[in-house]
Amino acid sequence: MPQEYRPYWIDKRAEPRLHLHLAGTISFPDGSDLALHSRDVSRSGMAVIAPARPAPGLRVNGIFEEIGIIAGRVARWTPDGFAIRFMHDAAHQARLCARLDTIEAAGGRRPLGGGGFFDSRIPQQRAGRYSAPDLHLMITLPDGRIIAERLRDISRSGASVISRERPSLGAGIRIRDRDATVIRHTPDGFAVRFEGVEAEHGARGCAP
């Protein structure tokens, strides 16, 4: 396995990359944060699309939907952003590799700008609840903080979120690209109702 992330335009024989367009946030040593998207992810690093060009070697931390927390150093600039070489301990790296294997097995190679999670993975049925895929999704809380959490279950009208956070009832949040309202707290998180659900699908939130 290569020890350094090598983008496809430098070495096409580098380890397999998943072309994942994942929303995320990178934090820099000066305390600033940058919202961006990934272009591709491998076991040793990732390329991100961003206007910033941080100095190579700079230590960064981040959080991305579907893969969670990452840590590493800026490896190099790319035509549309920069590349990060991961610096994880063995346990964290093993979890990341397992997550990438799961995403790849599930057909996770999707092009930039591909369909959203809610459009492509929720059956078009009347508000029935389904077990959600084991993925981390970016959630924007009422105070503006962005967290990556998993869903316990999901329907056309709402979802149950596994989280230590307990937003106020009635608070508006955003789960990836969907606006939602917190309707109840649950033992392991909270439940939301999606906004703009068509009448024929009902307006029931997920049961705890």
Could you tell me the residue ranges of all domains in the chain?
23-105, 117-201
Closest to 148 (Cα-Cα) out of 159, 136, 161, 133: 136
Closest to 52 (Cα-Cα) out of 76, 82, 97, 30: 82
Using CA atoms, how far apart are residues 98 and 113, in angstroms rounded to an integer? 25
Report, in angstroms and rounded to the nearest whole number, the Rg of the chain calculated over CA atoms.
Answer: 18
Closest to 62 (Cα-Cα) out of 143, 151, 138: 138
Three-point CA angle 70, 75, 76, nearest 5°: 130
pLDDT digits (tens, 9 = 90+) for 94-133: 888 888 877 776 654 443 334 444 444 444 333 445 555 5
182: three-class secondary structure by DSSP: strand
Q: List, for the chain, all residue ranges whose pLDDT scores fall below the cut of 50.
A: 1-13, 108-128, 198-208
pLDDT of residue 34: 86
Q: Same topology for domains 23-105 and 117-201, yes or no?
A: yes
199: three-class secondary structure by DSSP: helix
Using CA atoms, how far apart are residues 62 and 44, in angstroms rounded to an integer? 15
Whether domain 117-201 has CATH 3.40.50.2000: no
Contact call for residues 202 and 127 (beta carbons, < 8 A): yes
Q: According to DSSP H, which parts of the chain are helical?
A: 90-105, 117-121
CATH for 23-105?
A: 2.40.10.430
Tell whether pTM > 0.85.
no
Sequence letter at residue 50: A
